């Protein structure tokens, strides 16, 4: 397959992997990933993430499920119209309306794909679809044919394939390929399979489906038992040519296989897998951070590849070994996945160009207006802190990226007093367009609670706080504090992020971020129309 991104196209020539297979990376962060509760992204955020995925060398971006909502349709369409370098894919159930909508959304891309799915396991046939095996085959064939009438790149997924009887799975896969599917994806929809079973199932398909060589076989694993990455790699070892995965492993329930983990396993253990991908691994950490910020889903510290501790060596014995020879305890270098060599970057005398350059190295290209705002915030921060670290810059930039979208309410000023033996007091001023509103509140369990009350009073939006986390973006007691918030409003979950050296201010900013998401969500998102429903 020739890759549409010229920056990545030469990789196989540069590296001497004459025997190695090229594995396609199919990213579904914007579709399955967005199905994580509360992870919905707005249009601008989806466009930003899609461009980052294309720039890092993702072969296929599943941009959404166009029939799910007008917002989803618009996002897939705009991604197809603007993002270059990857095939843009839209998901559809096996019916005419879904497939037509998927095509209408993806048709603008120079390289587009329709992904059609239909459940095949006995459990789904009997209880969800109430369809006989013959009806399933008939519907699958009709769906693939309709998609092929629009687009020659069609993928078919027998949903819950890993719990489908071998004989029936072979029958469906063969029929879908005959109908024109160029990729057949074998999802472990409920994360039930083990690596050994996956290996056997993929080998079985290679051995028993007569036309299997006419299609790329793909793997799509969920992480309910923590085996999504191991299962995806077992599928590759058994001949799969495409991995479906998400940044940070976000996705339905326990999530999907993490892109950064499968990519680095293939890269680091090329001796074992004899495969490669087109992913520029140096972009993994910036992509992880961007997705974490836009979805509000934090990356655990010890997360493989992109976690803050992924390359930290604590024990004296390990540190001693590292100083003598890095390979004693390090199988990859932090730089290889996009951590920068030195974390200490700028100070109060650094200029705008240095800030723009550092942000670019961290994976963010800022517009002139964004740079101006981040630079002003940077100067204020540099006055408070002597040293500015990468983590500080990332926090400022990402707040700007997510904060610059559909922002309605902004913080003007606040005063807080609190003490052990008195009620907390908050005086808060917010702005929305030309209107400024001030509220004084003297109640609550503490200053943060009082700030919540004041924000709710001014904006008129009531929320229930489901999760509240504060963490420092860098080291030291003057570090930026990042608040991650999860709130519920009318039965739906929203996230908000705020950063400041003052934790009350971070809280107010996070609260406003969540409230602005509620306001900007004029149409229901994909979470309302679960594709597996
Ligand atoms: O997990 C699954 O089965 C899916 C399909 C829609 C491919 O996400
Ligand atoms: Zn899935």
Q: Is the CB of 93 under 6 A from ligand 1?
A: no
Q: Is the CB of 219 under 6 A from ligand 1?
A: no
Residue 516 shares a structural domain with residue 395 = no
**Per the domain annotation, does 303 fall within a domain?**
no
Residue 232 shares a structural domain with residue 273 = yes
Q: Is the CB of 251 under 6 A from ligand 1?
A: no
Q: Is the CB of 155 under 6 A from ligand 1?
A: no
Cα of 187 to ligand 1 centre, how many Å?
Answer: 6
Pairwise CA distance, residues 497 & 532, whole Å: 30
Alpha helices (runs of H) in 269-315, residue ranges in sequence order? 270-273, 284-295
Residue 99 shares a structural domain with residue 170 = yes
Hey, whose CA ends up nearest to atom 6 of ligand 1? 117
**Per the domain annotation, does 3 fall within a domain?**
no
pLDDT bin (cut points 50, 70, 90) of residue 113 is: very high
Cα of 221 to ligand 2 centre, how many Å?
Answer: 7
**Per the domain annotation, does 174 fall within a domain?**
yes
Cα of 83 to ligand 1 centre, how many Å?
Answer: 24
Pairwise CA distance, residues 143 & 150, whole Å: 11
- The Cβ of residue 523 has, within 10 Å, a number of other Cβ atoms equal to 11
Q: How do 435-441 and 422-432 pair as beta strands?
A: antiparallel
**Mutation pick for ligand 1 pocket among 114, 222, 242 (CB with most ligand atoms within 8 Å):** 222
Cα of 256 to ligand 1 centre, how many Å?
Answer: 10
Q: Is the CB of 157 under 6 A from ligand 1?
A: yes
pLDDT beyond 90 at 180: yes
pLDDT bin (cut points 50, 70, 90) of residue 18 is: low
Give the model's pLDDT for residue 342.
54
The total number of structural domains that make up the chain? 4
**Per the domain annotation, does 302 fall within a domain?**
no
pLDDT beyond 80 at 1: no
Q: Is the CB of 87 under 6 A from ligand 1?
A: no
Residue 115 shares a structural domain with residue 242 = yes
- Return the minimum-mean-pLDDT range out of 220-224, 377-381, 452-456: 377-381
- At 357-383, the pLDDT tens digits run 888 777 677 888 889 988 998 888 888
Lookup: tokens for 337: 């996945």
Q: Which residues of 480-507 are buried (b: 16+ CB within 10 A; e: fewer)?
A: bbbbbbbbebeebbbbbbbbbbebbbbb
**Mutation pick for ligand 1 pocket among 68, 89, 157 (CB with most ligand atoms within 8 Å):** 157
Q: Is the CB of 242 under 6 A from ligand 1?
A: no
Q: Is the CB of 121 under 6 A from ligand 1?
A: no
Give the model's pLDDT for residue 67.
98
**Per the domain annotation, does 499 fall within a domain?**
yes
- The count of C-alpha atoms lying within 13 angstroms of the C-alpha of 396, restricted to the half-sphere facing its C-beta, is 28
Pairwise CA distance, residues 30 & 27, whole Å: 8
Neighbours of ion ligand 2 (CB under 5 A): 32
**Per the domain annotation, does 456 fall within a domain?**
yes
Compute the radius of gyration of the chain from its Cα atoms.
24
Nearest in space to 462 (alpha carbons), one of 490, 429, 484 = 490
Cα of 252 to ligand 1 centre, how many Å?
Answer: 9
Give the model's pLDDT for residue 9.
39
Give the model's pLDDT for residue 8.
37
pLDDT bin (cut points 50, 70, 90) of residue 508 is: very high
Q: How do 409-419 and 388-389 pair as beta strands?
A: unpaired
Pairwise CA distance, residues 40 & 54, whole Å: 20
**Per the domain annotation, does 383 fall within a domain?**
yes
First-residue to last-residue Cα distance in the chain: 34
Q: Is the CB of 187 under 6 A from ligand 1?
A: yes
Do 143 and 100 form a contact (C-beta atoms < 8 A)? no
Residue 511 to residues 119, 446, 508: CA-CA distances in angstroms?
40, 16, 5
Residue 319 shares a structural domain with residue 356 = no
SS3 369: helix
Give the model's pLDDT for residue 495.
84
Hey, whose CA ends up nearest to atom 2 of ligand 1? 189
Residue 237 shares a structural domain with residue 320 = no
Nearest in space to 206 (alpha carbons), one of 236, 181, 228, 243 = 236
Residue 88 shares a structural domain with residue 214 = yes
CATH number for the domain harbouring residue 239: 3.20.20.70
Could you tell me the residue range of the domain that residue 424 belongs to?
409-520
Cα of 273 to ligand 1 centre, how many Å?
Answer: 25
- At 266-299, the pLDDT tens digits run 999 999 999 999 999 999 999 998 899 888 888 9
Residue 353 shares a structural domain with residue 337 = no
pLDDT bin (cut points 50, 70, 90) of residue 457 is: very high
Lookup: tokens for 122: 């006995």
Mean pLDDT of the chain: 88
Give the model's pLDDT for residue 202.
98
Give the model's pLDDT for residue 421.
82
Residue 398 shares a structural domain with residue 444 = no
């Amino acid at each position: 397959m020739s890759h549409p991104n010229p920056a990545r196209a030469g990789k196989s020539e540069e590296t001497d992997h004459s025997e190695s297979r090229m594995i396609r990376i199919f990213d579904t962060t914007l579709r399955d990933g967005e199905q994580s509760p509360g992870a919905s992204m707005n249009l601008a955020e989806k466009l930003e993430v899609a461009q980052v995925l294309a720039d890092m060398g993702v072969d296929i971006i599943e941009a959404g499920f166009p029939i799910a909502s007008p917002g989803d349709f618009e996002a897939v369409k705009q991604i197809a119209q603007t993002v270059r370098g990857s095939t843009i894919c839209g998901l559809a159930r096996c019916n005419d309306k879904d497939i037509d909508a998927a095509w209408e959304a993806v048709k603008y891309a120079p390289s587009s794909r329709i992904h059609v799915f239909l459940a095949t396991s006995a459990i789904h046939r009997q209880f969800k679809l109430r369809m006989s095996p013959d009806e399933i085959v008939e519907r699958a064939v009709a769906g693939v044919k309709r998609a092929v009438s629009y687009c020659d790149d069609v993928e078919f997924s027998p949903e819950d394939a890993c719990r489908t009887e071998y004989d029936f799975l072979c029958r469906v896969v063969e029929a879908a390929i005959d109908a024109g599917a160029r990729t057949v994806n074998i999802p472990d929809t409920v994360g039930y399979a083990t690596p050994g079973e996956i290996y056997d199932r993929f080998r079985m398909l290679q051995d028993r489906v007569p036309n299997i060589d006419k299609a790329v076989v793909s793997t799509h694993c969920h992480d309910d038992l923590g085996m999504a990455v191991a299962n995806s790699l077992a599928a590759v070892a058994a001949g799969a040519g495409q991995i479906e995965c998400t940044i940070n492993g976000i996705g339905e329930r326990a999530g999907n296989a993490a892109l950064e983990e499968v990519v680095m396993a293939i890269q680091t253990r090329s001796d074992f897998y004899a495969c490669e991908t087109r992913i520029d691994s140096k972009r993994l950490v910036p992509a992880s951070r961007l997705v974490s910020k836009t979805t509000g889903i934090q990356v655990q510290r010890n997360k493989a590849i992109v976690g803050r501790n992924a390359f930290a060596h604590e024990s004296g014995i390990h540190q001693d070994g590292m100083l003598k020879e890095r390979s004693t305890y390090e199988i990859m270098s932090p730089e290889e996945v996009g951590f920068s060599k030195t974390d200490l970057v700028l100070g109060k005398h650094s200029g705008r160009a240095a800030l723009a350059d550092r942000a670019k190295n961290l994976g963010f290209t800022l517009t002139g207006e964004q740079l101006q705002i981040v630079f002003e915030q940077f100067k204020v921060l540099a006055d408070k802190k002597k040293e500015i670290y990468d983590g500080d810059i990332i926090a400022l930039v990402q707040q700007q990226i997510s904060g610059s979208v559909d922002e309605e309410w902004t913080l003007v000023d606040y005063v807080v007093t609190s003490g052990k033996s008195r009620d907390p007091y908050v005086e808060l001023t917010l702005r929305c367009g030309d209107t400024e509103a001030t509220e004084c509140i003297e109640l609550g369990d503490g200053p943060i609670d009082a700030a919540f009350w004041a924000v709710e009073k001014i904006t008129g939006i009531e929320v229930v706080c489901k999760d509240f986390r504060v963490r420092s973006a860098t080291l030291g007691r003057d570090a930026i504090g990042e608040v991650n918030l999860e709130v519920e409003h009318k039965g739906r979950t929203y996230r908000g992020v705020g950063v400041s050296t003052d934790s009350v201010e971070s809280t107010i900013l996070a609260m406003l971020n969540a409230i602005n998401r509620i306001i900007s969500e004029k149409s229901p998102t994909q979470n309302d129309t679960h594709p597996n429903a």
